[in-house]
Chains A and B, each alone.
Chain A
């Protein structure tokens, strides 16, 4: 196990810059996720850590060691590929034992370690089979077993769950996290799936267009997005252009047109300054629809008309028209969902909102 650190990493392909100067520390034993849409540079970053790509500039260290000039096969990494990449001509046992061949491990030790790791991934009896005789989820477990049996310093996971179907993916997610916690291997996970990223990570790195947008614990990043990209990419948010009316140590008030004046605590509006444009972020699940005649409570309230109802079983997503704004609200179904055309009251707590610095 080792920490990983990226110092001023840049990757350019001809005249395209895939990764802009980037600093990242991955603490020993942690589970760090690189999250972003395709083309954001997350896979490029992972491949540079792996040694499959050379950074154009900057330094990559694993533990105390600078690895820029160390070829991949000497880096002692475990990699799980998107398509598993199990060797089709070798049995499961030989696949898992492959890395041990290059590590001076005695035959008895190989046997014991392969058995142990197959036990760990809950597939103890498949050693003599070939990869094509296993299901996708089983192949996934074997790929993981093959990567961790060599006791790697760092485990790199490149969208390992994306080839599985939805139910299996959720099970594997829990399984993967269990195995990571049990082995304590420093793990770098690349995904474009935000629910995987939120559920599994100790530390979340949101990337966009080759840059890091925000780094933090999943809950911090989700609750306090620092840019409208993060607010928009994680979950569903209403992002409204507003003007900042006043800002002092205790709080910030913004004029949100149809929503009236909204006053947020200071820690929810770190970068807003009085008199400038700002953006108000309201999470769709923090915007509650109630019948128009419900007595008012402590929350801000505004009237709107339901335009579209997107029924999802346990929850329902509404598109509500308020003046020239269309707002999204994601509510659990309590009694009876509202219908299209209903006039409703929209309520939210100002402290659930985030105000960002306006752009431009």
Chain B
């Protein structure tokens, strides 16, 4: 009796969470010109219209470039920060660690306004660079968390063994530590990309005029009307933001399995 209630409840929770997403995907293939029920037929027309919509394509390109650059910079900084925090006894290690993680804890709006005001104070203008900087600050903690956790579990013996055999510290890092760290580096990079790709709050504050990312583009399209194109765009974003991490985890697990 008790268990069946829990079961029903669980199913209800999952329905509540995923039904809207399923509806978006379903409606993106609907022939109906208002982008809502009833379903009048199966069609790819919204995807084709999406493909022909220059504004969306431009936003898509911006998001991809922004996400990729964010992932690259965040990962490099994150790996270096993790190495410093885990492998070296630097003074104030705990404080630095906390500060690096802090952007997750601070409400994004506050972070967004703060960065904007700070750069205004320094009389920098809004630019793509500022947007990128914001995204790096916001994604860095995730990379640091993932990479640090992995690095702690890689024993120093390996590096020491490599150095005893003649590798200098840099060679030991690239030959031994980095390959062992690869799954975490990869996961961190994907995290950074998807978080950046998804972000709207910070992006709204930081983006210079005339530049739109996919989320801000959807947002501005929604202000006029609910176009069925948005359903199609939603489907593509779901595939990207769900699919990429899944593939990433799969590859990371593959690498890890070979090692242990």
B155 near A85 (CB under 8 angstroms)?
yes
Given contacts A73-B166, A99-B166, A150-B166, contact A85 B161 (CB under 8 A): yes
A88 near B155 (CB under 8 angstroms)?
no
Bound complex: CA A145 to CA B258 (Å): 23
| B164 interface hit (Cβ, 8 Å) | yes
- Chain B residues whose C-beta falls within 8 Å of the C-beta of A194 in the assembled complex: none
Bound complex: CA A101 to CA B165 (Å): 9
- Chain B residues whose C-beta falls within 8 Å of the C-beta of A60 in the assembled complex: none
B202-220 contacts to A (CB < 8 Å): none
B165 near A102 (CB under 8 angstroms)?
yes
A sample of 13 more A-B contacts (CB under 8 A), given A81-B157, A87-B176, is A50-B160, A73-B172, A83-B157, A85-B157, A86-B161, A87-B161, A88-B259, A89-B179, A98-B162, A98-B175, A130-B259, A147-B164, A147-B165
Bound complex: CA A73 to CA B165 (Å): 6
A213 to chain B, nearest CB (A): 28
Bound complex: CA A79 to CA B158 (Å): 11
| A271 interface hit (Cβ, 8 Å) | no
Bound complex: CA A88 to CA B158 (Å): 9
A157 to chain B, nearest CB (A): 12
Q: Which residue of A lies closest to B160 (CB)?
A: A52
Which of A71, A89, A98 contacts B165, CB < 8 Å? A98
- Chain A residues whose C-beta falls within 8 Å of the C-beta of B167 in the assembled complex: 73, 98, 102
- Chain A residues whose C-beta falls within 8 Å of the C-beta of B127 in the assembled complex: none
- Chain B residues whose C-beta falls within 8 Å of the C-beta of A50 in the assembled complex: 160, 164
- Chain B residues whose C-beta falls within 8 Å of the C-beta of A130 in the assembled complex: 258-259
> Which of B158, B163, B176 has most A Cβ within 10 Å?
B163
Bound complex: CA A130 to CA B258 (Å): 9
- Chain A residues whose C-beta falls within 8 Å of the C-beta of B260 in the assembled complex: 88, 132
| B40 interface hit (Cβ, 8 Å) | no
> Which of A77, A78, A89, A101 has most B Cβ within 10 Å?
A89
B167 to chain A, nearest CB (A): 6
Q: Enumerate the 7 nearest inter-chain pairs by beta-carbon distance, A residue then B residue, closest first.
A: A102-B166, A99-B165, A85-B157, A85-B161, A79-B164, A88-B259, A73-B163
How many of chain A's residues touch chain B, expressed as a range? Answer: 20 to 34
- Chain B residues whose C-beta falls within 8 Å of the C-beta of A147 in the assembled complex: 164-165
A232 to chain B, nearest CB (A): 33
Given contacts A99-B166, A103-B166, contact A85 B160 (CB under 8 A): yes
Bound complex: CA A101 to CA B175 (Å): 11
| A72 interface hit (Cβ, 8 Å) | yes
- Chain B residues whose C-beta falls within 8 Å of the C-beta of A72 in the assembled complex: 160, 163-164
Which of B155, B172, B259 contacts A89, CB < 8 Å? B259
A6-51 contacts to B (CB < 8 Å): 50
| B180 interface hit (Cβ, 8 Å) | yes
| A279 interface hit (Cβ, 8 Å) | no
Q: Which residue of B lies closest to A158 (CB)?
A: B157
| B168 interface hit (Cβ, 8 Å) | yes
Bound complex: CA A150 to CA B172 (Å): 17
Bound complex: CA A89 to CA B174 (Å): 13
- Chain A residues whose C-beta falls within 8 Å of the C-beta of B166 in the assembled complex: 73-74, 76, 99, 101-103, 150
A128 to chain B, nearest CB (A): 14
- Chain B residues with CB under 8 Å of chain A are 155, 157-158, 160-169, 171-172, 175-176, 179-180, 258-260
18 A–B contact pairs at CB < 8 A? Answer: A72-B160, A72-B163, A73-B163, A73-B164, A73-B165, A76-B166, A79-B164, A81-B160, A87-B162, A89-B180, A89-B258, A98-B167, A99-B165, A102-B165, A103-B166, A130-B258, A146-B161, A147-B165
Bound complex: CA A83 to CA B172 (Å): 18
Bound complex: CA A73 to CA B180 (Å): 20
Interface SS, B side:
helix
Bound complex: CA A130 to CA B179 (Å): 15
B258 near A79 (CB under 8 angstroms)?
no
B165 near A150 (CB under 8 angstroms)?
yes
B168 near A73 (CB under 8 angstroms)?
yes
Q: Which residue of B lies closest to A75 (CB)?
A: B164
B87 to chain A, nearest CB (A): 13
- Chain B residues whose C-beta falls within 8 Å of the C-beta of A146 in the assembled complex: 161, 165
Q: Which residue of B lies closest to A86 (CB)?
A: B161
A207 to chain B, nearest CB (A): 22
B178 to chain A, nearest CB (A): 10
- Chain B residues whose C-beta falls within 8 Å of the C-beta of A99 in the assembled complex: 165-166
B164 near A77 (CB under 8 angstroms)?
yes
B165 to chain A, nearest CB (A): 3
- Chain B residues whose C-beta falls within 8 Å of the C-beta of A75 in the assembled complex: 164
A290 to chain B, nearest CB (A): 53
A83 near B165 (CB under 8 angstroms)?
no
A79 near B161 (CB under 8 angstroms)?
yes
Bound complex: CA A72 to CA B163 (Å): 6
- Chain A residues whose C-beta falls within 8 Å of the C-beta of B258 in the assembled complex: 89, 130
- Chain B residues whose C-beta falls within 8 Å of the C-beta of A98 in the assembled complex: 162, 165, 167, 175
Q: Which residue of A lies closest to B169 (CB)?
A: A73
- Chain A residues whose C-beta falls within 8 Å of the C-beta of B169 in the assembled complex: 73
B161 near A81 (CB under 8 angstroms)?
yes
A16 to chain B, nearest CB (A): 16
Bound complex: CA A147 to CA B158 (Å): 13
Bound complex: CA A17 to CA B161 (Å): 26
A317 to chain B, nearest CB (A): 38
